[in-house]
Amino acid sequence: MPRLFGSNGVRGVVNQELTIELASGIAAAAGYVLGREMAVGRDGRTSSPMIRDAVVAALLSVGCNVHDMGVLPTPVLQYLIRHLGLDGGIMVTASHNPPEFNGVKVEAGDGAEVSKETEERIEELYYRGEPRPVPWDQVGMETDYDGVEAYIDAVLSQVDADAIREKGYKVALDTGNGVATLTAPQVASRLGCSVYTVNAEIDGTFPGRGSEPTPENLGALKEIMKATGAHMGVGFDGDGDRSIVIDENGVAVWGDKTLSLVADWYMETHPGATVVTSVSTSAGLEKVVEARGGRVHWEKVGSVLLSRAMVELGAPIGGEENGGIMYGPHLPARDGTMAMALLLHVMAERGRPLSELIAEQPIGAKGRDRIPCPNELKEELLRRLPEVADAPEVNTMDGVKLSWPDGRWVMVRPSGTEPIARIYAEAETEEKLVALIDEYKEKADELIKSLKKKG
């Protein structure tokens, strides 16, 4: 039984891997497992209406009532599920993947993606060809619901809107032709910001800079920031849950640093809180959190694991190094628009520019790379790597992470889908970082070569 769920839902190329049969099979099983009242939403991809129709038909056929939320960002659907007390929902999206992809993310009633255990139950039912359709008089009802305004109000209620308005910030937003276009500019504008946008038409072919924001493809955003003197820039991914922040000098800020800043700000008034993050995040976060009497709960890489841990532990803050802040009082899931509003709040409250606030975070230079690694050698690579390293601390929570007392660390983590191993690292300076990554690329490469010879 091959796994259908990847790290964020079921995804694939439309009409090849991700067919209407697969989407409807997953939807029917999800409705059966989660309950009767199900929300459905979709992103702006050209194939999303087709997949949405398959999902809705499947849910109705197994007796679920469908609350169709229309086109919206993933975190808006998640918020509405929790806010309206629904049993769960399905978001039709392939997040940041190229336009030929689509997918379904299955959401639980608590506003986060379902757990691995629930995914497995859904897969099991799917492979058994269950559930069966209900008799005609038990078929579900469909209603439309437009909840974007309620969501925007909810985001605004989490920050001191008056304090932000007083500052009259200029904010530049690159929504990447994705659905963050429906929320981020509106929230910034209601916070009294002058808003400048790029790629702000929803277009499922993602003609602007593609659906994944990276420090390299946000050139147009940086140009606008320069021309307008913007205080902050934000680039969003295709379904609006992840974002990359640019400071007022045009420098892209790693997710670790914004997470550290938000955690520090929150814990000023809520000391002792638990912060959830993945093992690829900077150890510097721990310094910030412990200084405020709290603790960091480390998880394997993957936003769903972080969300589930937040729910389980009641943790108010979570986040990933790739730019997904999770603010529990609002939603235990990544939300790019909420992250933007929070950063504006922290800037206003502390009355200082973003670059200064970020520079205070005790987080070094971070980078990542990858090397080819045959699937059959991945396990052996992880087992042998600590033997050729001189690291006093070895952590095997996810791949293998080697740490030194001066704050340097390297993590090697094989891809679950491709014949490669990813290398993540942190060091005090950019120079030391490059040297560290090169050293471990070479070490891993040599190990793989010797394993190949032996094999």
- Distance from C-alpha of 191 to C-alpha of 347, rounded to nearest angstrom: 13
Residue nearest to Mg ion (CB): 95
First to last CA, the chain: 28
Stretch of 87-95, 131-139, 286-294, 394-402 contacting Mg ion, by CB under 5 A:
87-95
CA-CA distance, 280 to 302, in Å (whole number)? 10
List the structure tokens of 228. 């307008």
Q: Measured from the CB of residue 302, what is the shortest distance to Mg ion in angstroms?
A: 13
Instruction: Tell me the β-bridge partners of 409.
Output: 403, 426
Residue 92 beta carbon to Mg ion: minimum distance, rounded to whole angstroms: 13
Please report, as residue ranges, which positions from 211 to 270 form the binding site for Mg ion (by CB under 5 A).
Answer: 237, 239, 241-242
Residue 95 or 322 having the CB closest to Mg ion: 95
CB nearer to Mg ion: pick between 284 and 324: 324
Spatial distance between the Cα atoms of 421 and 366, rounded to a whole number of angstroms? 17
Annotated catalytic residue 307 = no
In single-letter form, the type of residue at position 304 comes to V
DSSP secondary structure letter of residue 80: H
Cβ proximity to Mg ion: between 304 and 421 the closer is 304
Of 93-101, 128-136, 177-185, 409-417, the window that binds Mg ion (rule: CB under 5 A) is 93-101
CB of 105 to Mg ion, least distance (A): 9
Report the amino acid identity of residue 327. Y
**381's tokens:** 């690579």
Residue 448 burial (C-beta neighbours within 10 Å; 0-12, 13-18, 19+) = buried
Look up residue 298 and give its DSSP letter.
E
| Of the candidate residues 95, 183, 186, 274, the single one contacting Mg ion (CB under 5 A) | 95
Residue with tokens 């659907």: 77
**Token output for 176:** 């990447």
Among 48, 95, 211, 307, the one annotated catalytic: 95
Query: Least distance to Mg ion from the beta carbon of 314, Å?
Result: 25
Specify the residue, 107 or 239, whose C-beta has the smaller distance to Mg ion: 239
Kind plus residue range of the DSSP H or E element containing 296: strand 295-299
CB closer to Mg ion, 242 vs 413: 242
Q: Which stretch binds Mg ion (CB under 5 A): 91-99, 157-165, 200-208, 389-397?
A: 91-99
Please report how close the Cβ of residue 349 comes to Mg ion at its closest, in angstroms: 28
Q: Least distance (Å) from Mg ion to the CB of residue 326?
A: 13
Q: Does 277 interact with Mg ion (rule: CB under 5 A)?
A: no
302 to 113, 213, 295, 433: CA distances (angstroms): 11, 18, 20, 24
Q: In this complex, which beta carbon is closest to Mg ion, that of residue 274 or of residue 278?
A: 278
Positions touching Mg ion (CB under 5 A) are 95, 237, 239, 241-242
Catalytic residue IDs: 95
